[in-house]
Chain A
Amino acid sequence: MSEQVVQVLDWAGIVCILAGALLSFIAGIGLLRFPDLLSRMHAASKPQVLGLLLVLVGIGFRLLPVEESGVFSLGTLFLVGLFQVVTVPVAGHIVARVGYRTGRIRRDLVSTDELADRLATRGSASDPSEDTVS
């Protein structure tokens, strides 16, 4: 590959890594600033996923010109991204569900809540057919 292409790829990689780092940093600030569990979950799990993906893309741009990259290659980067994307929602869902059901949310910060209506009606009618799975 010519010298110039390598340089362009390098800069693209640097921009991606910096943007990813910035997003992760903002996620950290959000973790401190948001008041309750559910909004903190938004900050903790979300910009960070995109941040990680951007860092991976950045590393990919840096790896591309290197002919013999050894064990760590673009395929590995792709797998890291894939499994991150697939596993983050599972953990996030469980934390959100437990947090909601044990009442660790601030009611004054929730404007419309359609789940509370459902849980209330189910509690009174106790309909066994309508059970939830997660």
Chain B
Amino acid sequence: MNALQIKKKIGARALRSRIGKVQIPVALGMTLVWMLLFDAFRFRPETLGIAVLGFLVSVVIMMVFPLPPIVPGFRFWPLQGPYMVLYILGKMFAASIDVSAWVLRPGPPVKSSVVAVRMRTDSDLIMVCVAIATSIIPGSVIVEAAQPGRILYVHVLGAQNDEEAAEAKQGIYELEERIARGIGTRENIAELEAALAAERRNA
């Protein structure tokens, strides 16, 4: 075997490992974004071509910039998923009005609290989604995320005393429940239900 053949073999192996890094669901999601960018959902002769090209571009991107897989994975629940989106949108509207009221209210500046919320599900994806949702909903900002303990530290505007802080905490727990039921795996939901059952026993 000469040097060229060995080099070719190494190249082929590297290529195969890179192809292994391609995650089909993520590639499909990127194809969707591609098609939105090129307005491919109106029926035109070139629609199929755009879709195929988009998929190829997604695969090449994932081979050139490989990312670690989403570890516990996720699945979209057809009923709870849309409910989760509606729940977050509803909270956004309600909380926007609250924050607007705080802004326009005359008097001394509003007080706030920093609360620690420990996630009940063992999933990075759900933690990130809860963090994004908390950040989008007005009146709460993530100050710190502690990964080993899965604790989010949330700054809540307008929580003036301990009771209101506890209330805000409860709201974030509810958000986590909605998200876990919307896009969590079966294991995540089982963890959540175990935690809920333990809570009920203690109460």
B147 at the interface (CB under 8 A from A): yes
Are A110 and B144 interface neighbours, CB within 8 A? no
Given contacts A39-B157, A42-B99, A129-B148, contact A112 B143 (CB under 8 A): no
Docked-complex contact A92 and B111, CB < 8 angstroms: no
Tell me, yes or no, whether B96 is within 8 Å of chain A by CB. Answer: yes
Inside 8 A of B99's CB, which chain A residues have their CB? 30, 42-43, 46-47
Cβ 8 A contact of A132, one of B104, B145, B157? B145
B144 near A114 with CB under 8 A, answer no
Q: Assess the B142–A93 pair: CB atoms within 8 A.
A: yes
How many chain B residues touch A (CB < 8 A): the figure is: 50
Q: Which residues of A contact B112 (CB under 8 A)?
A: 38-39, 109-111
Main secondary structure of the interface of A (DSSP, over half): helix
What 0/1 readout, one digit per residue, does chain A (55-87) give for beta carbons within 8 Å of chain B?
000000000000000010101101100000110
- CB-defined contacts of B86 to chain A, threshold 8 Å: none
Inter-subunit contact B100/A115 (CB<8 Å): no
B37 CB contact (under 8 Å) in A79, A115, A129:
A79
Least Cβ–Cβ distance between A54 and chain B, in angstroms? 10
Q: Is the CB of B136 within 8 A of A42?
A: no
Min CB–CB distance B159 → chain A (angstroms): 7
CB <8 Å contact, A43 and B103: yes
Taking a contact as CB atoms under 8 Å apart, the answer to whether B145 and A133 are in contact is: yes
Q: Is the CB of B136 within 8 A of A34?
A: no
Contact B155 A89 (CB under 8 A): no
B109 touches A111 (CB 8 A): no
Number of residues of chain A lying within 8 A (CB) of chain B: 49
Q: What is the minimal beta-carbon distance from A127 to any residue of chain B, in angstroms?
A: 10
Set B132, B138, B141: member contacting A47, Cβ < 8 A: B138
Interface flags for A89-114 (1: CB within 8 Å of B; 0: not) read 10011001100100000000111111
Q: A21 in the interface, Cβ–Cβ < 8 Å? A: no
Report B119-138 CB contacts with A as 1/0, cut-off 8 Å: 00000000000011011111
Contact between chains at B135 and A50 (CB < 8 Å) = no
**Closest CB-CB distance, B88 to chain A, in whole Å?**
10
Question: Are the CB atoms of B131 and A89 closer together than 8 Å?
Answer: yes
Knowing that A38-B141, A89-B131, A93-B131 are A-B contacts, what are 6 other residue pairs whose CB atoms are under 8 Å apart, sorted by A's residue number? Answer: A23-B100, A29-B104, A47-B99, A111-B162, A115-B114, A130-B149
- Could you tell me which B residues sit within 8 Å of A by CB distance? 33, 35-37, 39, 41-42, 92-93, 95-96, 99-100, 102-104, 109-116, 131-132, 134-149, 153, 155, 157, 159-162, 165
